[in-house]
Protein backbone atom coordinates (compact mmCIF):
# COMPACT_ATOMS: atom_id res chain seq x y z
CA UNK A 1 0.00 0.00 0.00
CA UNK A 2 1.41 3.40 -1.03
CA UNK A 3 1.90 5.73 1.95
CA UNK A 4 -0.10 8.95 1.90
CA UNK A 5 2.09 11.96 1.22
CA UNK A 6 1.63 15.26 3.12
CA UNK A 7 0.14 18.35 1.41
CA UNK A 8 2.56 19.98 -1.04
CA UNK A 9 2.91 23.17 0.98
CA UNK A 10 3.99 21.16 4.04
CA UNK A 11 5.90 18.33 2.33
CA UNK A 12 9.66 18.03 2.58
CA UNK A 13 11.80 17.89 -0.54
CA UNK A 14 12.08 14.12 -0.34
CA UNK A 15 8.29 13.77 -0.20
CA UNK A 16 7.86 16.13 -3.15
CA UNK A 17 10.36 14.13 -5.19
CA UNK A 18 8.63 10.88 -4.22
CA UNK A 19 5.29 12.29 -5.39
CA UNK A 20 6.85 13.32 -8.71
CA UNK A 21 8.34 9.85 -9.18
CA UNK A 22 5.13 7.98 -8.36
CA UNK A 23 3.28 6.68 -11.42
CA UNK A 24 3.79 5.56 -15.02
CA UNK A 25 7.44 6.03 -16.08
CA UNK A 26 6.25 7.09 -19.52
CA UNK A 27 4.27 10.09 -18.24
CA UNK A 28 5.57 13.58 -18.91
CA UNK A 29 5.34 15.97 -15.97
CA UNK A 30 4.24 19.48 -16.91
CA UNK A 31 6.45 22.18 -15.45
CA UNK A 32 3.41 24.32 -14.60
CA UNK A 33 1.76 21.50 -12.61
CA UNK A 34 4.88 20.92 -10.51
CA UNK A 35 4.76 24.49 -9.17
CA UNK A 36 1.18 24.39 -7.86
CA UNK A 37 0.51 24.73 -4.14
CA UNK A 38 4.03 25.45 -2.89
CA UNK A 39 3.66 28.97 -1.51
CA UNK A 40 6.97 30.68 -0.80
CA UNK A 41 8.86 27.55 -1.83
CA UNK A 42 7.73 27.72 -5.45
CA UNK A 43 11.03 29.14 -6.78
CA UNK A 44 12.84 26.31 -5.00
CA UNK A 45 10.82 23.73 -6.92
CA UNK A 46 11.30 25.66 -10.16
CA UNK A 47 15.07 25.59 -9.61
CA UNK A 48 14.98 21.95 -8.49
CA UNK A 49 13.34 20.88 -11.77
CA UNK A 50 15.59 23.20 -13.79
CA UNK A 51 18.63 21.46 -12.30
CA UNK A 52 17.58 17.93 -13.31
CA UNK A 53 18.95 18.17 -16.89
CA UNK A 54 22.44 18.79 -15.48
CA UNK A 55 22.50 15.11 -14.49
CA UNK A 56 21.73 13.82 -17.99
CA UNK A 57 24.85 11.78 -18.85
CA UNK A 58 25.11 13.12 -22.41
CA UNK A 59 27.80 15.79 -22.98
CA UNK A 60 26.36 19.16 -23.97
CA UNK A 61 22.70 18.20 -23.57
CA UNK A 62 22.14 18.77 -19.84
CA UNK A 63 23.79 22.18 -19.79
CA UNK A 64 22.05 23.35 -22.94
CA UNK A 65 18.67 22.57 -21.38
CA UNK A 66 19.31 23.29 -17.72
CA UNK A 67 21.44 26.42 -18.12
CA UNK A 68 18.71 28.63 -19.65
CA UNK A 69 16.14 27.30 -17.16
CA UNK A 70 18.40 28.17 -14.23
CA UNK A 71 18.97 31.63 -15.72
CA UNK A 72 15.19 32.06 -16.01
CA UNK A 73 14.82 31.37 -12.27
CA UNK A 74 17.72 33.68 -11.45
CA UNK A 75 16.38 36.60 -13.49
CA UNK A 76 12.99 36.37 -11.81
CA UNK A 77 14.54 36.42 -8.33
CA UNK A 78 16.84 39.25 -9.39
CA UNK A 79 13.96 41.50 -10.52
CA UNK A 80 11.85 40.59 -7.51
CA UNK A 81 8.93 38.61 -8.93
CA UNK A 82 6.64 37.24 -6.22
CA UNK A 83 5.34 34.42 -8.41
CA UNK A 84 7.27 32.62 -11.13
CA UNK A 85 6.55 33.27 -14.78
CA UNK A 86 7.00 30.56 -17.37
CA UNK A 87 6.84 30.92 -21.15
CA UNK A 88 4.04 28.72 -22.44
CA UNK A 89 6.41 26.43 -24.34
CA UNK A 90 8.26 25.78 -21.06
CA UNK A 91 5.15 25.49 -18.86
CA UNK A 92 3.66 22.80 -21.11
CA UNK A 93 6.84 20.71 -21.06
CA UNK A 94 8.84 18.97 -18.36
CA UNK A 95 10.77 15.83 -17.47
CA UNK A 96 9.49 12.33 -18.08
CA UNK A 97 8.66 10.50 -14.88
CA UNK A 98 11.27 7.84 -15.72
CA UNK A 99 14.01 10.49 -15.51
CA UNK A 100 12.68 11.66 -12.14
CA UNK A 101 12.61 8.05 -10.89
CA UNK A 102 16.27 7.57 -11.85
CA UNK A 103 17.17 10.88 -10.23
CA UNK A 104 15.31 9.90 -7.05
CA UNK A 105 17.30 6.67 -6.82
CA UNK A 106 20.55 8.65 -6.90
CA UNK A 107 19.74 11.58 -4.61
CA UNK A 108 17.26 10.13 -2.10
CA UNK A 109 19.98 8.95 0.34
CA UNK A 110 21.58 12.41 0.21
CA UNK A 111 18.24 14.16 0.72
CA UNK A 112 17.66 11.97 3.76
CA UNK A 113 20.95 13.20 5.23
CA UNK A 114 20.17 16.84 4.43
CA UNK A 115 16.80 16.57 6.19
CA UNK A 116 18.56 15.59 9.41
CA UNK A 117 20.14 19.02 9.84
CA UNK A 118 18.08 21.26 7.56
CA UNK A 119 15.19 23.25 9.02
CA UNK A 120 13.49 26.63 8.51
CA UNK A 121 15.85 29.31 9.86
CA UNK A 122 17.36 32.72 9.04
CA UNK A 123 14.38 33.81 6.90
CA UNK A 124 16.05 37.12 6.08
CA UNK A 125 18.63 35.29 3.96
CA UNK A 126 15.75 33.98 1.84
CA UNK A 127 13.23 36.83 1.89
CA UNK A 128 15.13 40.11 2.20
CA UNK A 129 15.12 41.96 -1.11
CA UNK A 130 18.89 42.38 -1.27
CA UNK A 131 19.45 38.72 -0.39
CA UNK A 132 16.97 37.59 -3.03
CA UNK A 133 18.71 39.76 -5.63
CA UNK A 134 22.08 38.27 -4.67
CA UNK A 135 20.72 34.75 -4.99
CA UNK A 136 19.21 35.61 -8.36
CA UNK A 137 22.46 37.13 -9.63
CA UNK A 138 24.43 34.05 -8.63
CA UNK A 139 21.90 31.77 -10.33
CA UNK A 140 22.09 33.78 -13.55
CA UNK A 141 25.88 33.48 -13.59
CA UNK A 142 25.83 29.79 -12.68
CA UNK A 143 23.21 29.18 -15.37
CA UNK A 144 25.50 30.79 -17.93
CA UNK A 145 28.39 28.60 -16.79
CA UNK A 146 26.23 25.47 -16.86
CA UNK A 147 25.21 26.25 -20.44
CA UNK A 148 28.83 26.63 -21.56
CA UNK A 149 30.67 23.54 -22.85
CA UNK A 150 33.14 23.41 -19.95
CA UNK A 151 34.26 19.76 -19.68
CA UNK A 152 33.35 17.67 -16.62
CA UNK A 153 31.45 20.45 -14.82
CA UNK A 154 27.77 19.54 -15.25
CA UNK A 155 27.64 17.44 -12.08
CA UNK A 156 29.60 20.07 -10.15
CA UNK A 157 27.16 22.82 -11.09
CA UNK A 158 24.22 20.44 -10.73
CA UNK A 159 25.09 19.59 -7.12
CA UNK A 160 25.72 23.23 -6.27
CA UNK A 161 22.41 24.31 -7.79
CA UNK A 162 20.66 21.57 -5.84
CA UNK A 163 21.97 23.23 -2.67
CA UNK A 164 20.29 26.50 -3.70
CA UNK A 165 17.08 24.63 -4.55
CA UNK A 166 17.06 22.75 -1.24
CA UNK A 167 17.69 25.96 0.70
CA UNK A 168 14.64 27.53 -0.97
CA UNK A 169 12.48 24.41 -0.59
CA UNK A 170 13.41 23.77 3.04
CA UNK A 171 13.38 27.50 3.88
CA UNK A 172 16.88 27.11 5.30
CA UNK A 173 18.85 30.35 5.34
CA UNK A 174 21.96 28.68 6.76
CA UNK A 175 22.08 26.26 3.83
CA UNK A 176 21.65 29.23 1.49
CA UNK A 177 24.69 30.92 3.04
CA UNK A 178 26.73 27.81 2.27
CA UNK A 179 25.30 27.77 -1.25
CA UNK A 180 26.34 31.41 -1.69
CA UNK A 181 29.88 30.54 -0.62
CA UNK A 182 30.02 27.63 -3.04
CA UNK A 183 28.59 29.83 -5.79
CA UNK A 184 31.22 32.52 -5.26
CA UNK A 185 34.00 29.92 -5.45
CA UNK A 186 32.52 28.28 -8.56
CA UNK A 187 31.93 31.58 -10.37
CA UNK A 188 35.41 32.77 -9.50
CA UNK A 189 37.19 29.58 -10.49
CA UNK A 190 35.25 28.51 -13.57
CA UNK A 191 34.05 31.91 -14.72
CA UNK A 192 36.35 34.80 -13.95
CA UNK A 193 39.64 32.88 -14.00
CA UNK A 194 38.85 31.08 -17.25
CA UNK A 195 37.39 34.16 -18.90
CA UNK A 196 34.46 32.06 -20.09
CA UNK A 197 31.84 33.93 -18.11
CA UNK A 198 33.00 37.36 -19.24
CA UNK A 199 33.01 36.27 -22.88
CA UNK A 200 29.57 34.66 -22.66
CA UNK A 201 28.07 37.62 -20.80
CA UNK A 202 29.51 40.02 -23.39
CA UNK A 203 28.03 38.04 -26.26
CA UNK A 204 24.65 37.81 -24.49
CA UNK A 205 24.53 41.55 -23.80
CA UNK A 206 25.65 42.22 -27.37
CA UNK A 207 22.74 40.17 -28.62
CA UNK A 208 20.31 42.25 -26.57
CA UNK A 209 21.55 45.55 -27.96
Residue 86 lies in a domain: yes
Report whether pLDDT(126) > 90: yes
Neighbours of 63 (CB within 10 A): 24
Task: Please write the tens of the pLDDT for every residue from 58-111.
Answer: 666 778 888 899 999 999 999 999 888 888 888 888 888 888 888 888 888 888
Tell me: the pLDDT tens digits for 168-196?
999 999 999 999 999 999 988 887 666 65
pLDDT of residue 91: 85
6 found inside a domain: no
In a domain, 42, yes or no: yes
Higher-confidence residue: 132 or 90?
132
Annotate 98-149 with DSSP letters as a single string. Answer: HHHHHHHHHHHHHHHHHHHH--SB-HHHHHSHHHHHHHHHHHHHHHHHHHS-
Distance between CA atoms of residues 79 and 66, nearest Å: 20
Other C-beta atoms closer than 10 Å to the C-beta of 192 total 12
Query: How far apart (Å, rounded) are the C-alpha atoms in residues 2 and 104?
Result: 16
Q: Is residue 63 part of a domain?
A: yes
- Please give the average per-residue pLDDT across 148-156, as a whole number: 81
pLDDT at 209 exceeding the cut of 80: no
Domain residues for the domain of 156 are 13-208
Q: Tens digit of pLDDT for each residue in 2-50?
A: 444 455 556 678 888 888 888 898 898 888 888 888 888 899 999 998 8
Give domain status of residue 7, yes or no. Answer: no
Report the chain's C-alpha Rg in angstroms. Answer: 16
pTM (predicted TM-score): 0.84
Per-residue pLDDT for 200 more than 70?
Answer: no
Averaged pLDDT for residues 145-161: 85
How many structural domains is the chain composed of?
1
What is residue 1's predicted lDDT score, i.e. its pLDDT?
38
pLDDT category of residue 122 using cuts at 50, 70 and 90: very high
Residue 193, pLDDT score: 60
Is residue 101 in a domain? Answer: yes
- CA–CA dist 133, 50 (Å, integer): 19
159 within 8 A of 147, measured Cβ to Cβ: no
Amino acid sequence: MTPELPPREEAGTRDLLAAMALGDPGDQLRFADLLIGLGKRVFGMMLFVATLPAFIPIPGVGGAIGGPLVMLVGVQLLIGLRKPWLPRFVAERGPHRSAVQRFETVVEPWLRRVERFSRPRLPGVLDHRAATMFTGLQLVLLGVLLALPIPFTNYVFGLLLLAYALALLERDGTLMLWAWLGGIVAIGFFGVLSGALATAAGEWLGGLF
